[in-house]
Amino acid sequence: MKRILLSVIMASCLVSARATIFQYVVTLNGANAGTASLGTGSGTVNYDNVAHSLQLQVNFSGLTGTTTASHIHSPTLTPFTGTASVATTTPSFTGFPLVVTSVSFSSTLHLTLASSWNPSYVTANGGTTAGAEAAFASQIAAGRGYWNIHSSFAGGGEINGFITAIPEPSSLALGGLGFVGIAARAWRRRRSGVS
């Protein structure tokens, strides 16, 4: 039994070690941005550390004003709170629809290109796109980045939301195995009368 459990744990670790796509979700609303907007949105941010790309997808509706810009801000001083300067494309993601109150948007940033970054963010992170990418990946994983949608109603951002990691399936499986092992041990102790 111990050999099987050890084999499963090792296999899970190997699968995790080869993972290259880090998946995140974002929920945007006015309360997050400190506005009275009833606008809402949700999206995904997928970072591929081998292809050096950031796949973006968002759906939003109900904005009070019309869109003027959208990008990701990072890093905040504290995870999941605060504000930060723009990290990605300025003034807005290429192709992001402007002068609308609702839309579905999808795009991919190629992080080796300077055009995917705010120039001041690159400068602050070693002066290279590789330095910017490394810092950004770390900051997003730590909950220190948020997606902001600016509008004519709220120039600083009508709706925004912090980017939150989705646990890898192998991590969930490994955690589940740990729980099963603890439960089995407790059951055996109880059955044998050991306290």
Number of domains in the chain: 1
Q: Which tokens in the block code for residue 87?
A: 């990290």
Range of the domain at 67: 20-167
pLDDT for position 18: 55
Q: What is the CATH number of the domain that holds 61?
A: 2.60.40
* Residue 172 counted as domain residue: no
Best CA proximity match to 170, nearest among 21, 1, 4, 2: 21
pLDDT for position 179: 56
0.95 exceeded by pTM: no
pLDDT for position 171: 47
pLDDT for position 167: 80
* Residue 163 counted as domain residue: yes
Which residues in the chain show pLDDT less than 70? 1-19, 168-189, 193-195
* Residue 174 counted as domain residue: no
pLDDT for position 42: 98
pLDDT for position 56: 98
* Residue 7 counted as domain residue: no
pLDDT for position 16: 46
* Residue 70 counted as domain residue: yes
* Residue 40 counted as domain residue: yes
3-state SS class at 4: helix
Best CA proximity match to 156, nearest among 85, 58, 62: 85
pLDDT for position 102: 98
Chain centroid to Cα 143, Å, comes to 7
* Residue 176 counted as domain residue: no
The DSSP secondary structure of 173-188, one letter per residue, reads HHHHHHHHHHHHHHHH
3-state SS class at 68: strand
